[in-house]
């Protein structure tokens, strides 16, 4: 496998496996069409716009954009925003999938389109990304070790994409085109939930972005994602709160409001039930979202 480029200043960004790692208070790109890429933010907030949808990222969520998707990036902040984006050369993921079919047999996919939606970093992906950043910061790092780290990230992305494909297939519709359209709508609603955790969301407001009735939305959401919209909302709020507690000095009361809880005691009780520790005990912990 070829070497990985970090911050290439030329067209190799679109033809080789590459990483763009930068910081800026103000930054805007024209609409570009690139390769399959993973967008993450380490500090602050940045917005990628693709397919007429705005994806606001911070350290608690990431985004995959398919090869051929046009997008632009906008950063406008009083403090520096740090982004870390991985670009996979054309054909790289298909080669990875093909290698899996050699191991797993003919049933394994050799190509599929990744769901372009906000995603919540799991522990494996977060650890792999943190490991790659550490290697990039160490001038003594060996190329082979970096390639290994890069492959671990790619493998995990494929695993997560497989989970999204399973969610798509779980929808009980006879026609594939209908299933694809419903899943697209559910993902839009899912992104709306993730992006508005501080809002007072009810079933109607969560269903509206999907252009579905509340009852239809509730049933389809549960069938696709394995949990109700309300359960998903609570999960997102809890995990965002845990990340903010571990990575900021904001008072617990502020974080409570930032993730949509009106009552501090209710927030603290739910947090303790979910993670087995008090919210204040997470200060200074080693927990990381990558």
pLDDT in tens, 240-268: 998 888 878 889 999 999 999 989 999 99
Return mean pLDDT, the chain.
90
Average pLDDT over every residue of 15-25? 96
Confidence bin at 103 (pLDDT 50/70/90): very low
pLDDT computed for residue 97 by the predictor: 86
pLDDT computed for residue 68 by the predictor: 94
Average pLDDT over every residue of 104-128? 77
The domain 5-166 belongs to what CATH superfamily?
Answer: Regulatory protein AraC (2.60.120.280)
**Least confident segment among 20-24, 105-109, 270-274:** 105-109
Nearest to 44 by CA among 34, 31, 57, 26: 57
Residues 6 or more apart whose CB falls under 8 angstroms from that of 225 comprise: 167, 186, 190, 232
Residue 110 clears pLDDT 70, i.e. is over it:
no
pLDDT computed for residue 109 by the predictor: 56
Residues in the chain: 290
Average pLDDT over every residue of 110-115? 73
Residue 89, number of CB atoms within 10 A of its CB: 20
Strands 118-119 and 37-43: unpaired
Neighbouring-strand partners of residue 177: none
Asked whether 87 and 37 are in contact (CB, 8 A), the reply is yes
Residue 191, number of CB atoms within 10 A of its CB: 21
pLDDT computed for residue 282 by the predictor: 73
Nearest to 190 by CA among 158, 162, 232, 145: 232
pLDDT computed for residue 21 by the predictor: 97
pTM recorded for the entire structure: 0.86
Confidence bin at 289 (pLDDT 50/70/90): very low
Record: fold of 232-282: Arc Repressor Mutant, subunit A (1.10.10)
| Rounded distance between C-alpha atoms, residue 50 and residue 32, angstroms | 10
Average pLDDT over every residue of 221-225? 96
């Amino acid at each position: 496998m070829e070497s990985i480029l970090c911050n290439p200043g030329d067209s190799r960004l679109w033809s080789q496996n590459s990483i763009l790692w930068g910081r800026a208070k103000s930054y805007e790109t024209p609409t570009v069409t690139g390769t399959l890429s993973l967008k993450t933010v380490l500090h602050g907030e940045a917005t990628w716009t693709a397919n007429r949808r705005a994806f606001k990222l911070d350290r608690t969520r990431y985004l995959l954009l398919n090869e051929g998707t046009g997008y632009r990036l906008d950063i406008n902040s009083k403090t520096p925003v740090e982004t870390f984006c991985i670009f996979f050369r054309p054909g790289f993921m298909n080669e990875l999938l093909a290698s899996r079919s050699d191991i797993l047999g003919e049933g394994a996919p050799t190509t599929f389109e990744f769901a372009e939606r906000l995603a919540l970093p799991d522990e494996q992906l977060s650890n792999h990304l943190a490991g790659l950043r550490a290697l990039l910061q160490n001038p003594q790092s060996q190329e082979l070790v970096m390639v290994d780290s890069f492959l671990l990230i790619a493998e995990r992305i494929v695993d997560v994409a497989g989970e999204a494909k399973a969610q798509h297939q779980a929808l009980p519709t006879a026609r594939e085109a209908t299933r694809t359209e419903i899943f697209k709508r559910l993902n839009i609603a899912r992104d709306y939930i993730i992006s508005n955790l501080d809002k007072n969301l009810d079933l109607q407001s969560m269903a509206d972005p999907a252009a579905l009735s509340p009852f239809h939305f509730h049933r389809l959401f549960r069938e696709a994602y394995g949990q109700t919209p309300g359960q998903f909302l609570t999960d997102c709020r809890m995990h965002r709160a845990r990340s903010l507690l571990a990575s900021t000095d904001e008072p617990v009361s502020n974080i409570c409001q930032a993730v949509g809880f009106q009552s501090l005691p209710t927030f603290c009780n739910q947090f303790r039930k979910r993670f087995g520790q008090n919210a204040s005990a997470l200060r200074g912990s080693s927990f990381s979202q990558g």
